[in-house]
Chains A and B, each alone.
Chain A
Amino acid sequence: MSEHRHRTRLLPLTAAMLMLGVIGRAILALPTTGDGLAVPMRAGAEASGIPNVITAVLLDFRGYDTLLEIAVLMLATVAVLSLREDPAALSRRIAGGAGPVLGTLTRALAPIMLLVAGHLVLVGSSGPGGAFQGGAVLGAAGILLMLSGYARPAWASRRAVRWVLAVGLIVFIGVALYPLLSGGTLLQYPPENRKDLILLVEALLTLSIGASLVSLFLASASSTEGGGRR
């Protein structure tokens, strides 16, 4: 047994050491300065009027990556939904509800989380934040609600929830395709309503991302009652 163990560990260990050596050599060979695309990106962001370069990169220059990233998230949600064992179990899953203490916390925190999520989306254009961060906070609020017993039965097999999950992506594609009508390319927001469009997309994305994260948790959550009794 131990000999077998030994053999199975030798290969991974060698692989890891090899990787370390290879990466180390590559990194040490680099010069200590290197601008990459920082300079043109900053100039471009300034020109396009989005103060936060990263948001400019994410939604404007490399918006296509972000479109596919949102697709990844929705795909993962669908994937996890497809893996759940028994759709009927969803309705009996979150039974019991929260005790008074947890319930109170949830009631107090959830609205604040909603506000913070909104705030994070709004500040995204000028500082740290954005749809994903906002969506994550929103999703956390949702998960907290679920854990505290506020789950609606059969979440995610309902049509409405499906719409919420998909609306971000659908609207994003719509906005991405919209410039094609006026001779632009995919995702080439028209300058006159670029900000509004981005905000619209971000807002709906936040909603969808939040719903996705809740679904990821909920759909993957065990179908039997956990150890929790409160």
Chain B
Amino acid sequence: MLLDHLPALLVAVPLTGAALSFVAGHRRAPHVALVTAAAIVALAVALVARVLDAGPFRYAVGGWTAPLGIDLVADGASALFIVLTAIVGMGVTLYATAYFRTDDETAYGHGLFWTLWLFMWTSLNALFLTGDVFNVYVCLELVGISAVTLVTLSGGAEALRAGARYLYASMLGAMTYLLGVALLYASVGQLDMTILADTLTPDVTAATGLALMIAALVLKTALVPAHFWLPAAHGSAPSPVSAALSSLVVKGSYFVILRLMLYVIPVGYLGGTDVALGVLGSVAIVWGSVQALFQTRIKQLVAYSTVAQVGYLFLVFPLARLGADAFALAVTGVLVHAVSHGLAKAGLFLASGSLMSRFGHDRIDDMRGAARSAPVLTLTVALAGITMMGLPPSGGFGAKWLLVSSALAGGAWWWAAVLVAGGLLAAAYMFRLLAVLLADGDAVLGTPASAPRTEWVPLALAAAAVVLVAAVPLITDLASASNILIRAGVTP
């Protein structure tokens, strides 16, 4: 009974939480947020169970089914992303209870963190569930505004600068996306993704619209060369925010690309777009990693690592065109990658935040000896690093294995080479960081701004990313229950 309404509740509950946390005022807002987070985790788990049990289902908001109304679509992929968001979200919420202590009256904005954060959570859930291309626009704006504001929350010049840049990228993306929707609607007269998938016929206008939409989403996902806004934004935001941005927000827009490219748009409809995206993804992997290697500040390094990791997400598009086997493997692999990167990157950013508050600065080279005084954080960095390098045994390895297998199954060894090279580059920058932490030195640790109990949160997230390799069968089941694979008629 209640299970039928899970999609609605997954949006309504955090939204209610956001509104109530605003009314509650800064002292009680964290409690509202924690209760909401717990409820969302429960709902997300229920959704996964339901999807595994009964397959994908649609939810007609307002009782009007598409095309009149807006349908929410819950399938394996959306359930997976929602549960990822729930887990990372819970971690961020717990971590933030110590990070945003609101007894400091001068940091007025910190009291509003909870409201902004719950809005962001709402919008991410909504984005993962929506089946309507215009609704995606509204969700993207919700994500964008909350993300930009959260970036600027610290109020420093750097953060404001990054926030402004992010906002402009966001505006450009949103307007371009809407233009795409306009052209698409003018041509096809439909907004529902499933109906669109069924009715698309070759047409310049529709193709232009879809291309514009994808271009806009690529900008929001920060694929090279549209990544210019990301490092500053993710690097200068408060750490819990960075974690959420890097691990979840880029996945939001990416999820829509995934649905559009592999579910809505027929093969070859947009010419070589899929290969182009794959090439850009490869460039992103190399470029992001090389940039990460030369960063001197810890969060900048992690942010550039996101640029690189986002690149992997786009390799799925060329791989998916290499035949049925490759398709299933690639989609499963990219889902595993999204989840493992989400967990690992959240852990990594939170750990960086704790390191920064312990050291009182963010210069990597002055963090020698951290392994001795902050072993938990060092271990977190190491575990997250393993996942990002794709080394076994970790979720990242599962993803890389599947993607490499997909490439080889499709006979396209060059994509496998890119994947492997990406892992090595990730190792290069991660071990550069780890080497400093492990180096001999007596780091002067400032007063810990975050209570040590929250340092277990990043460790748990990073460990989850490693252990995720054991959950790959579950993710495979979810992938089989995703509309993308069902429509394509393939199973991993």
Pick out which of these stretches binds chain A: B90-98, B141-149, B362-370: B141-149
Query: Please, which residue of chain B has its CB at the minimum distance from the CB of A80?
Result: B149
Q: Is A62 an interface residue (CB 8 A)?
A: yes
Q: Is A112 an interface residue (CB 8 A)?
A: no
Contacts of A29 in B (CB 8 A): 203-205
Q: A71-B119, A82-B153 are in contact. Are A23 and B208 (CB under 8 A)?
A: yes
Query: Please, which residue of chain A has its CB at the minimum distance from the CB of B134?
Result: A65
A79 & B69 in contact (Cβ 8 Å cutoff): no
Give complex CA distance A173, B17 in Å.
11
Q: A26-B208, A173-B15, A185-B60 are in contact. Are A41 and B108 (CB under 8 A)?
A: no
A72 & B23 in contact (Cβ 8 Å cutoff): no
The smallest beta-carbon distance between B21 and chain A, in angstroms, is 10
Give complex CA distance A1, B16 in Å.
53
B64 & A177 in contact (Cβ 8 Å cutoff): no
B5 & A82 in contact (Cβ 8 Å cutoff): no
B8 & A35 in contact (Cβ 8 Å cutoff): no
Contacts of A36 in B (CB 8 A): 185-186, 189
Q: Is B271 an interface residue (CB 8 A)?
A: no
Q: Is B408 an interface residue (CB 8 A)?
A: no
Binary contact readout B1-44 vs A (1 if CB under 8 angstroms, 0 otherwise): 00001001000100110111011010000000000000000000
Give complex CA distance A67, B8 in Å.
12
Contacts of B145 in A (CB 8 A): 72, 75-76, 79
Query: Please, which residue of chain A has its CB at the minimum distance from the CB of B208?
Result: A26
Q: Is B59 an interface residue (CB 8 A)?
A: yes
Q: Is B489 an interface residue (CB 8 A)?
A: no
With beta carbons under 8 angstroms apart, the residue of B25, B116, B134, B204 that contacts A25 is B204
Give complex CA distance A71, B122 in Å.
10
Binary contact readout A25-40 vs B (1 if CB under 8 angstroms, 0 otherwise): 1110110001111001
Interface core residue of A23, A63, A79, A170 (most chain B CB under 10 Å):
A79
Chain B, 79-112, CB within 8 A of any chain A CB:
105, 108-109, 112
Q: A23-B179, A72-B141, A75-B119 are in contact. Are A65 and B70 (CB under 8 A)?
A: yes
B8 & A82 in contact (Cβ 8 Å cutoff): no
With beta carbons under 8 angstroms apart, the residue of A34, A65, A166 that contacts B19 is A166
Contacts of A23 in B (CB 8 A): 179, 183, 208
Q: Is B268 an interface residue (CB 8 A)?
A: no
Q: Is B209 an interface residue (CB 8 A)?
A: yes
Q: A79-B145, A84-B108, A166-B19 are in contact. Are A186 and B12 (CB under 8 A)?
A: yes
Give complex CA distance A64, B60 in Å.
10
Contacts of A114 in B (CB 8 A): none
Contacts of A176 in B (CB 8 A): 8, 12
Binary contact readout B181-216 vs A (1 if CB under 8 angstroms, 0 otherwise): 001011101110000000000011100110010000
Chain A, 25-59, CB within 8 A of any chain B CB:
25-27, 29-30, 34-37, 40-41, 44
Query: Please, which residue of chain A has its CB at the minimum distance from the CB of B138?
Result: A68
Give complex CA distance A63, B20 in Å.
21
Query: Please, which residue of chain B has its CB at the minimum distance from the CB of A186?
Result: B8
The smallest beta-carbon distance between B224 and chain A, in angstroms, is 16
Give complex CA distance A65, B69 in Å.
10
B22 & A44 in contact (Cβ 8 Å cutoff): no
Q: Is the interface of A mostly helix, strand, loop or mixed?
A: helix
Give complex CA distance A69, B204 in Å.
31
Pick out which of these stretches binds chain B: A122-130, A134-142, A157-165: A157-165
Q: A65-B70, A185-B5 are in contact. Are A30 and B186 (CB under 8 A)?
A: yes
The smallest beta-carbon distance between B112 and chain A, in angstroms, is 4
A185 & B67 in contact (Cβ 8 Å cutoff): no
The smallest beta-carbon distance between A155 and chain B, in angstroms, is 14
Give complex CA distance A190, B148 in Å.
38
Contacts of A81 in B (CB 8 A): 109, 112
Q: Is A202 an interface residue (CB 8 A)?
A: no
B116 & A78 in contact (Cβ 8 Å cutoff): yes
Give complex CA distance A30, B123 in Å.
34
The smallest beta-carbon distance between A215 and chain B, in angstroms, is 11
B12 & A64 in contact (Cβ 8 Å cutoff): no
Contacts of A131 in B (CB 8 A): none
Contacts of B23 in A (CB 8 A): 159, 162-163, 166, 170
A37 & B68 in contact (Cβ 8 Å cutoff): yes
With beta carbons under 8 angstroms apart, the residue of A37, A82, A184 that contacts B112 is A82
B12 & A173 in contact (Cβ 8 Å cutoff): yes
The smallest beta-carbon distance between B325 and chain A, in angstroms, is 36
Chain A, 139-195, CB within 8 A of any chain B CB:
159, 162-163, 165-166, 169-170, 173, 176-177, 179-180, 184-189
Contacts of B139 in A (CB 8 A): 68
Q: Is A216 an interface residue (CB 8 A)?
A: no
The smallest beta-carbon distance between A219 and chain B, in angstroms, is 10
Give complex CA distance A62, B68 in Å.
8
A75 & B146 in contact (Cβ 8 Å cutoff): yes
B19 & A44 in contact (Cβ 8 Å cutoff): no
Contacts of A85 in B (CB 8 A): 155
With beta carbons under 8 angstroms apart, the residue of B22, B25, B209 that contacts A26 is B209
Give complex CA distance A188, B8 in Å.
12
With beta carbons under 8 angstroms apart, the residue of A60, A72, A180 that contacts B62 is A60
Binary contact readout B135-170 vs A (1 if CB under 8 angstroms, 0 otherwise): 100110110011011001101000000000000000
Q: Is B115 an interface residue (CB 8 A)?
A: yes
Q: Is B126 an interface residue (CB 8 A)?
A: yes
The smallest beta-carbon distance between A112 and chain B, in angstroms, is 31
Q: Is A22 an interface residue (CB 8 A)?
A: yes
Query: Please, which residue of chain A has its CB at the minimum distance from the CB of B185?
Result: A36
B16 & A170 in contact (Cβ 8 Å cutoff): yes
Q: Is A207 an interface residue (CB 8 A)?
A: no
With beta carbons under 8 angstroms apart, the residue of A62, A79, A159, A185 that contacts B59 is A185
Contacts of B113 in A (CB 8 A): 82
Contacts of A87 in B (CB 8 A): 105, 108
Contacts of B5 in A (CB 8 A): 180, 185-186
B19 & A170 in contact (Cβ 8 Å cutoff): yes
Q: A162-B22, A173-B19 are in contact. Are A63 and B179 (CB under 8 A)?
A: no
Known contacts A26-B187, A186-B59, A187-B61; 14 further A-B pairs (Cβ under 8 A): A29-B205, A34-B186, A36-B189, A40-B68, A64-B135, A71-B18, A78-B115, A79-B146, A166-B20, A170-B23, A185-B62, A187-B62, A188-B63, A189-B62
A sample of 15 inter-chain contacts (CB < 8 A) reads: A26-B209, A35-B189, A61-B68, A62-B135, A64-B70, A65-B70, A65-B134, A68-B126, A71-B123, A81-B112, A82-B108, A170-B16, A176-B8, A176-B12, A188-B63
Q: What 3 A-B pairs have minimum CB-CB distances, sorted nearest first? A: A188-B63, A186-B8, A82-B109
